């Protein structure tokens, strides 16, 4: 526990994830694991200050340990909580059809249990400049948490337009005696952190963690919300310090881009699923893949990049991809395969050779993009019947 985790205010980990790490550790070290309850007691003994909260979307909430995170030196640090499941769509079974309500207005959850935000920064632990009232900062953070919770509740009910009134009311109705505290640079940073926390939960609420269908109307509403949020903020933040305006817009823009990308991914995945479930489509894809000039593609990649190892690795990945096609595997199997590829090409080298994660991942994405470009180029030149299907699959 001491080697893999560390106490960190405002951070959380699902209990089931920590137990999965523990099982993996026991397996590697040939130890007999204790049960979840016993493991929980061990965690409490090691980290007595931890609290437990139940978080997540309605009907899908899980217990989390609060005040703890994976250490950067841990082998689990860059793997999105575990060695498997590097994408938020991995190791998840598809939900049954109809789990998302398709009424005139959608309900993004079916339980009466309220989805609560994680803890916000504690004013008592902030290094405030002289002259800044701690009491005012505490009051503002309390007000802001209530404001963010209202936004979350409104989004859960799929009343996206209702968010505009809350944003406008909070910022344009700010009490005069509270406006002075907004000049504090520390509080500006806190606002950005709080927004990041809110937006992380909003993405978890809006985008299903399993690759399931999103109704077209809901998908469009989510996309419009990502665009409108920036407009609403710009309209509402006219009377606040420029630092607050800039910080909030920057985080909101990042959120909008992330939300749009994930909605697009789900839409692509839905299309790819139907292709991968069709025997005729998969057969045509396999026939076209076997006709590709792999030697020519590998030579081009080697010539352009000077990388002698990547083309050899590509041969392995293509063989694995063809095996999935042969088995007519479901879409989730392909996300697991991609996770495994990322693990082998990025995470393990970072752990074994001390390579920087950002540099290694950027290099891999560049090579992968070059490979897929050359692959689709070859399919285009040969007018392959399955070109569109291949493009959807590799784009996903």
Q: Which pLDDT band holds residue 207 (cuts at 50, 70, 90)?
A: confident
pLDDT tens digits for range 267-321 = 888 788 878 878 888 888 888 888 888 889 889 888 888 888 888 888 888 889 8
Q: Which pLDDT band holds residue 212 (cuts at 50, 70, 90)?
A: low
Q: Where are the domains of the chain?
A: 5-81, 134-273, 278-393
Q: Which pLDDT band holds residue 58 (cuts at 50, 70, 90)?
A: very low
Higher local confidence (pLDDT), 48 or 228:
228
338: pLDDT strictly greater than 70: yes
Highest average pLDDT, of 82-91, 249-258, 263-272, comes from 249-258
For 292, 306, 308, the CA distances from 299, given in Å and listed in that order, are 13, 10, 9
Q: Which pLDDT band holds residue 96 (cuts at 50, 70, 90)?
A: very low
Residue pair 230/249 in contact (Cβ under 8 Å)? The answer is: yes
Average pLDDT rounded to a whole number, residues 2-22? 76
Q: Long-range contact list for 168-172, CB < 8 A, 24+ apart?
A: 168/232, 168/235, 168/236, 170/143, 170/144, 170/236, 171/236, 171/237, 171/239, 171/240, 172/236, 172/238, 172/239
107: pLDDT strictly greater than 60: no
Higher local confidence (pLDDT), 239 or 352:
239
Question: What DSSP letter does each residue of 330-386 carry, written as one string?
Answer: -HHHHHHHHHHHHIIIIIHHHHHH---HHHHHHHHHHHHHHHHHHHHHHHHHTT-TT
- What pLDDT is attached to residue 244? 96
E-only strand ranges, the chain: 5-14, 51-55, 62-70
pLDDT tens digits for range 113-141 = 457 788 899 999 898 899 899 999 999 99
- What pLDDT is attached to residue 100? 32
Cα(166)–Cα(150) distance, integer angstroms: 8
- Nearest residue to 341 via CA among 275, 292, 394: 394
103: pLDDT strictly greater than 70: no
Q: Which residues of 134-158 are buried (b: 16+ CB within 10 A; e: fewer)?
A: eebbebbbeebbebbbbbbebbbeb
Average pLDDT rounded to a whole number, residues 25-40? 81
387: pLDDT strictly greater than 80: no
Please, which residues have CB within 8 angstroms of residue 55's CB and are 6 or more apart in sequence? 12, 61, 62, 64, 115, 116, 118, 201
Average pLDDT, the chain: 80
- What pLDDT is attached to residue 35? 81
Q: Which pLDDT band holds residue 259 (cuts at 50, 70, 90)?
A: very high
- What pLDDT is attached to residue 102? 33
- What pLDDT is attached to residue 23? 79
Q: Which pLDDT band holds residue 47 (cuts at 50, 70, 90)?
A: confident
328: pLDDT strictly greater than 50: yes
pLDDT above 90 covers a percentage of the chain that reads 25
pLDDT tens digits for range 158-198 = 889 999 999 999 999 988 888 899 999 999 999 999 999 99
Highest average pLDDT, of 36-40, 123-127, 327-331, comes from 123-127
Kindly report the CATH class assigned to 5-81: mainly alpha
Lowest average pLDDT, out of 103-107, 248-252, 367-371, goes to 103-107
Higher local confidence (pLDDT), 250 or 334:
250
Average pLDDT rounded to a whole number, residues 202-214? 76
């Amino acid at each position: 526990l001491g080697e893999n985790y560390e106490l960190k205010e405002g951070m959380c980990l699902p209990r089931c994830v920590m137990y999965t790490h523990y099982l993996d550790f026991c397996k590697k070290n040939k130890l007999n694991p204790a049960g979840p309850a016993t493991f929980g007691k061990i965690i409490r003994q090691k980290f007595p200050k931890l609290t437990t909260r139940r978080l997540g979307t309605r009907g899908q909430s899980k217990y989390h340990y609060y005040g703890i995170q994976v250490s950067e030196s841990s082998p689990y640090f860059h793997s999105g909580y575990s060695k498997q499941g590097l994408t938020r769509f991995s190791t998840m079974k598809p939900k049954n059809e109809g789990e998302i309500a398709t009424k005139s207005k959608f309900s993004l959850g079916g339980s009466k249990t309220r989805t609560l935000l994680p803890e916000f920064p504690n004013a008592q632990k902030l290094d405030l400049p002289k002259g800044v009232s701690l009491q005012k900062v505490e009051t503002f953070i309390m007000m802001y948490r209530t404001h963010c919770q209202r936004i979350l509740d409104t989004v859960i009910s799929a009343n996206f337009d209702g968010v505009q009134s809350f944003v406008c009311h909070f910022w344009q109705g700010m009490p005069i005696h509270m406006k002075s505290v907004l000049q504090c640079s520390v509080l500006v940073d806190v606002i950005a952190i709080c927004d990041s926390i809110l937006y992380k939960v909003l993405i978890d609420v809006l985008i299903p963690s399993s690759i399931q269908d999103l109704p077209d109307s809901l998908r469009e509403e989510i996309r419009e919300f990502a665009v409108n949020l920036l407009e609403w903020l710009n309209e509402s933040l006219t009377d606040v310090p420029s630092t607050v305006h800039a910080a909030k817009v920057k985080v909101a823009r990042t959120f909008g881009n992330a939300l749009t990308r994930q909605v697009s991914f789900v839409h692509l995945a839905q299309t790819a699923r139907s292709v991968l479930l069709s025997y005729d489509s998969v057969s045509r894809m396999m026939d076209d893949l076997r006709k590709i000039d792999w030697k020519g593609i590998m030579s081009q990649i080697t010539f352009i990049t000077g990388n002698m190892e990547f083309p050899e690795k590509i041969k392995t990945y293509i063989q694995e991809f063809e095996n999935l096609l042969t088995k007519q595997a479901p879409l989730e199997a392909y996300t697991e395969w991609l996770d495994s590829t990322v693990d082998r090409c990025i995470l393990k080298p970072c752990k074994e050779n001390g390579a920087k994660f950002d540099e290694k991942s950027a290099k891999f994405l560049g090579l992968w993009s070059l490979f897929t470009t050359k692959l689709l180029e070859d399919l285009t030149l040969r007018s392959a019947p399955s070109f569109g299907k291949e493009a959807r699959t590799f784009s996903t």
